[in-house]
Amino acid sequence: MHRRLVFEEPVSRAAIWSRRLAWFSVVVLALSLLLVRLREPSIEGLAPVAGAYLFVLLALGLAFLAFVRIWQKGHRGVGMAAGALALCLILLAPAGYVGFMLATRPALADISTDIDDPPAFSRSMAALTARDGRVPPDIAPQQRRLQRQAYPKIAPIVLEQPADAAFDLARKAATALGWQVLETSRPGGRSGAGRIEAVARGRVLRFSEDITIRVKPRVDGSRIDIRSASRIGSHDLGANAKRVTAFADEIDLLLER
């Protein structure tokens, strides 16, 4: 009897390395994000994340090369290349979201419900210490007009409740949203306005945003204004607008209870 020799096509080396590099990119990206969280937040501190994405792009390129080789030479490894491609696309999704927000949102990093008279941030020792001595700067009127065009639904919160009750609602809303409340001042005194100073931190990179809430009495109730400002960069990717909207939504939920 004669044995028939069966020759299998070799596995694409590009497919093998694309899968290896894709999983290596997962590890590098996770470690770089951990490093960013442990360091003092800064734009320069994002360099490890950018470096990790270079590995992701290289793995993506190898996956496409593997598909070409498999098509041309009949090599095996389609599953490896497809898995690497899917993993790379998942890792690139956050970067794609950032790019989309940069392209579709104006370069704003300070959002207020009152664009004519934004609430001022406290300069008390406790507030300055929490902000590392930083006081968010005043925003030019043209920037505020950009906010009105980009986020027309952001507006003061007008309530029928008296200022003291509105102040309690605002403080409960800030706490419910997980913000760190730095100091509070109930309505009264010369201005009659109450104030809440707080800090919010991002879930992934832990970047800090400064928040000040102003509660003013009105003849027919009260008015709450909130201002949220990023500490780093000139583009917040819509984060401050989302935070202001989340605060308004939380006030509505508290009123319904």
Q: What does each C-alpha distance from 177 to 28, 136, 169, 193, 249 come to in angstroms?
A: 31, 21, 12, 22, 11
pLDDT at res. 23 = 93
pLDDT at res. 5 = 44
What pTM does this model have? 0.81
pLDDT at res. 4 = 52
pLDDT at res. 9 = 67
pLDDT at res. 142 = 80
pLDDT at res. 251 = 95
- Hey, is 61 helix, strand or coil? helix
DSSP H or E run through 203: none
The residue with tokens 């496409």 is: 64
Q: What is the mean pLDDT of each run of 10 residues along the chain (257 residues)?
A: 54 87 92 80 77 92 90 83 93 91 88 92 87 84 85 94 94 95 86 90 80 94 95 87 96 90
pLDDT at res. 7 = 45
pLDDT at res. 3 = 53
pLDDT at res. 70 = 86
- Hey, is 6 helix, strand or coil? coil
The widest CA-to-CA distance across the chain, in whole angstroms, is: 107
Residue 34, by phi and psi: left (phi above 0), alpha (psi -120 to 50) or beta? alpha
How far, in Å, CA of 212 to CA of 117, rounded? Answer: 13
pLDDT at res. 57 = 94
